[in-house]
Amino acid sequence: MSHSTQALSAAHAAVPNTTDRVAWSDPQRQARFFQWLAGLPTALGLLPASLRPASADASFRRYLRIDSNQGSLVVMDAPPDKEDCQPFVKVDRLMQEAGLRVPRILAWEQELGFLLLSDLGAQTLLQSLDLTAPPPLAAYLEAVDLLLQWQLASKPDVLPAYDAALLRRELDLFPDWYIAQHRQVVLDEKQRHTLEEAFGRILQSNLAWPSVYVHRDFMPRNLMVSPQGLGVLDFQDAVYGPITYDIASLMRDAFLSWDEEFCLDVTIRYWQKARAAGLPVGDDFGAFYQGVEWMGLQRHLKIAGIFARLTLRDGKPQYLADTPRFIHYIRSTCSRYMALKPLLRLVESIEGIEVPTAFVFGKF
Going by C-alpha positions, the residue among 167, 159, 161 that lies closest to residue 305 is 167
Separation CA 274–CA 281 (nearest Å)? 7
The whole-number pLDDT of residue 13 equals: 43
* Residues 178, 209 contacting (CB under 8 angstroms): no
Task: Name which of 66, 86, 90, 69 is nearest 78 in CA terms.
Answer: 86
Please tell me the pTM assigned to this model.
Answer: 0.89
pLDDT of residue 58: 57
User: What SS3 state is found at 183?
Assistant: coil
Q: What pLDDT, on a 0 to 100 scale, did the predictor assign at position 113?
A: 95
Query: What confidence score (pLDDT) does residue 8 get?
Result: 41
Domain ranges within the chain, ordered by starting residue: 3-118, 125-351
The CA-based angle 122-64-140, given to 5 degrees, is 30
Q: What pLDDT does residue 363 have?
A: 39
- Whole-number pLDDT of residue 261: 96
Residues 6+ apart with CB under 8 A from 90: none
Rg of the chain on CA atoms, in Å: 23
CATH superfamily of 3-118: Phosphorylase Kinase; domain 1 (3.30.200.20)
Pairing between β-strand 223-224 and β-strand 114-118 as defined by DSSP bridges = unpaired
- Could you tell me which of 159, 165, 328, 144 has the C-alpha nearest to residue 239? 159
Residue type, 284: D
- Encoded amino acid at 119, one letter: D
Could you give the angle at the alpha carbon of 257 between the alpha carbons of 254 and 263, nearest 5°?
A: 110
Q: Point out the residues of the chain with pLDDT beneath 70.
A: 1-20, 56-59, 356-364
To which H or E segment does residue 297 belong?
helix 285-312
Instruction: Concatenate the DSSP letters of all residues of 195-248 into one string.
Output: HHHHHHHHHHHHHTSPEEEE-S--SGGGEE--TT--EE---TT-EEEETTHHHH
To the question of domain 125-351 being in CATH 3.90.1200.10, the answer is: yes
Characterize the bridge pairing of strands 211-214 and 223-224: unpaired
| pLDDT of the residue at 317 | 87
